[in-house]
């Protein structure tokens, strides 16, 4: 111990008397320099002093030993202004039932045990509501085990910037009434935000989720930022609603990602995102403009029954496996400029709006299926490499603006020598070219239809079919 400090017997942090052989007071001494009984006794005396003199609760850099239940052990139900900055909780900590009426600061705090910040809604049994009424800052805080904020109400800003959650994090049904900031946070266990409500802007940019993540039925009433987030396992945004703009730029989804029946009410961007596993945007509704430019889908991508109410772009996207837009609805302009379909692309039964551009500029791929797709009046602009095949079986092609040069040599049924079906497709194309007044293309389709008919009834085809 420094001789000068020992001579004064004053704690260098707060000026209280030092504790035994420590150079610090009972509150700031290390866990090894004090025992639970003497610490809790001193803590209760300090709490009484605060109540008597109506002071703020200042626990700055305190080292708490033993299990602490602030309601049961210390008879605290309300904190006005509470400062836990840099504090260390060596064992389980329970804040359940506590109301923070003023600023609550947990910046740089460390929680070594299980931590409970949960609360329940007031009911006939008189349960307490757990509430932070002003700004809550847990910047660079570390939760070493489970952290529970279930049902918590944050009346003002909630900051968890650069916070470490080593165990599971539970924010189920939490309500954050002003800005939520989880920038660069690190969630190492499973994370639950089910049915949480974010009333103002939410920022999760740069956050890492190493366990499963559940945002099921979460409501974001304003903008939500998930830029550069790394989801390492299964991620769920099922039935999630984002009422403001949403950004998932540069996000990595390493596990399966679910966006089933999610509702995005304004613009959303997945620019440069990577989906390492399957993704399901089944029955998702995009009400604003949607951007999937430069996205990489490494496994099957499902957009079945999706609805795009405004413009959507998949420019320079890469689908390494199958991509399905079965019965999807595209109400505005749609672009797949320089897209790579390395598997099958299904637009079967989809609705494309009359008078709008549907651009497919495919650089590489397998086949593109428009089976039973509604293409009436669509400006279908195809620019595809020679190895890409197209299926128009039972497609609704009337007044569809399409150039014969863009489909010549690309019809799936002809390439596969399925001549009877190829004949039907050329019949559909013949009718469509007539409807748009392109009689040269109509003549071409008619001749190809007859060619397929001859091939379908040829001896060589009959022999091959019956081998």
Q: Are 230 and 209 in contact (CB under 8 A)?
A: yes
Residue pair 321/297 in contact by the 8 Å Cβ criterion: yes
Host domain of residue 214 = 59-412
Distance from C-alpha of 193 to C-alpha of 417, rounded to nearest angstrom: 53
Under 8 Å CB-to-CB from 25, ≥6 apart: which residues? 11, 13, 14, 16, 17, 18, 19
The predicted-structure confidence for 186-221, as pLDDT tens digits, reads as follows 999 999 999 999 999 999 999 999 999 999 999 999
How many domains does the chain divide into? 1
- Which pLDDT belongs to residue 465? 64
Tell me which residue of 266, 225, 218 sits closest to 241, measured CA to CA.
218
Asked, for residue 408, whether it belongs to a domain, the answer is yes
Which pLDDT does position 240 carry in this prediction? Answer: 98
Q: List Cα–Cα distances, 268 to 104, 205, 281, 288, 310, in angstroms.
A: 33, 15, 13, 7, 11
Q: Model confidence over 123-138: pLDDT tens digits? A: 222 222 346 666 666 7
Residue 396: inside a domain, yes or no?
Answer: yes
Report yes or no: 362 and 388 within 8 Å, Cβ to Cβ. Answer: yes
- pTM listed for this prediction: 0.83
Q: What tokens were used for 121?
A: 């809604």
Q: Over the stretch 49-77, which tens digit does the pLDDT of each residue have?
A: 998 988 899 999 999 999 999 888 898 88
Q: What pairing do the DSSP bridges indicate for beta strands 82-83 and 104-105?
A: parallel
Buried b (16+ CB within 10 A) or exposed e, 230-265: bbbbbbbbbbbbbbbbbbbbbbbbbbbbbbbbbbbb
Provide the pLDDT for residue 129.
34
Q: What's the rounded Cα separation, in Å, for the pair 109 and 271?
A: 36
| In-domain check, residue 107 | yes
**Residue 6 predicted with pLDDT over 80:** no
Q: What is the pLDDT of residues 297-320, one digit of tens each?
A: 999 999 999 999 999 999 999 999
On whether the CB atoms of residues 233 and 211 are closer than 8 A, the answer is yes
Residue 71 lies inside a defined structural domain of this protein: yes
Question: 170 lies in a domain?
Answer: yes
Whether the predicted pLDDT of 111 surpasses 50: yes
**What is the sign of the dihedral through the CA atoms of 52, 29, 98 and 160?**
positive
Asked whether residue 221 is assigned to any structural domain, the reply reads yes
> 210 in a domain, yes or no?
yes
Would 15 be classed as within a structural domain? no
Distances (CA, A) of 313 to 62, 158, 258, 323, 390: 54, 34, 20, 15, 20
Segment 346-371, tens digit of pLDDT: 999 999 999 999 998 887 767 899 99
């Amino acid at each position: 111990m420094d001789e000068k400090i020992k001579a004064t017997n004053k704690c260098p942090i707060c000026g209280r008397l030092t504790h035994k052989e420590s150079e610090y007071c009972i509150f700031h001494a290390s866990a090894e320099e004090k025992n639970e009984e003497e610490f809790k006794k001193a803590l209760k005396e300090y709490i009484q002093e605060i109540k008597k003199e109506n002071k703020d609760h200042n626990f700055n850099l305190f080292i708490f030993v033993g299990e602490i239940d602030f309601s049961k052990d210390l008879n605290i139900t309300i904190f006005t202004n509470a400062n836990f900055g840099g504090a260390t909780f060596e064992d389980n900590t329970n804040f359940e039932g506590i109301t923070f009426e003023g600023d609550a600061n947990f910046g740089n705090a460390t929680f070594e045990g299980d931590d409970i910040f949960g609360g329940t809604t007031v009911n006939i049994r008189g349960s307490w509501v757990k509430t932070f009424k002003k700004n809550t800052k847990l910047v660079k805080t570390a939760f070493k085990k489970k952290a529970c904020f279930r049902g918590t109400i944050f009346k003002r800003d909630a900051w968890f910037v650069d916070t470490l959650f080593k165990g599971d994090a539970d924010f189920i049904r939490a309500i954050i009434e002003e800005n939520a900031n989880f920038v660069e946070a690190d969630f190492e266990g499973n994370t639950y935000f089910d049915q949480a409500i974010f009333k103002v802007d939410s920022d999760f940019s740069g956050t890492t989720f190493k366990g499963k993540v559940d945002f099921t039925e979460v409501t974001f009433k304003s903008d939500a930022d998930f830029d550069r987030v790394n989801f390492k396992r299964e991620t769920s945004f099922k039935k999630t609603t984002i009422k403001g703009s949403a950004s998932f730029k540069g996000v990595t989804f390493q596990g399966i990602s679910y966006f089933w029946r999610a509702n995005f009410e304004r613009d959303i961007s997945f620019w440069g995102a990577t989906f390492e596993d399957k993704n399901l945007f089944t029955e998702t509704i995009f009400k604003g403009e949607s951007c999937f430019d430069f996205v990489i889908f490494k496994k099957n991508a499902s957009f079945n029954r999706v609805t795009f109410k405004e413009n959507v772009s998949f420019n320079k996207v890469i689908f390494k496996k199958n991509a399905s837009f079965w019965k999807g609805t595209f109400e505005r302009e749609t672009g797949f400029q320089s897209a790579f379909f390395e598997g099958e692309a299904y637009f079967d039964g989809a609705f494309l709006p009359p008078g709008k551009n549907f651009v497919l500029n495919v650089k590489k791929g397998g086949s593109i299926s428009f089976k039973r797709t509604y293409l009436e009046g669509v400006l279908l602009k195809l620019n595809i490499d020679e190895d890409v095949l197209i299926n128009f079986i039972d497609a609704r092609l009337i007044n569809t603006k399409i150039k014969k040069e863009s489909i010549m040599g690309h019809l799936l049924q002809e390439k596969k020598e399925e001549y009877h079906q190829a004949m039907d497709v050329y019949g559909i194309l013949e009718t469509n070219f007539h409807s748009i007044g392109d009689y040269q293309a109509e003549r071409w389709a008619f001749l190809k239809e007859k060619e397929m008919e001859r091939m379908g009834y040829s001896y060589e085809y009959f022999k091959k079919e019956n081998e």
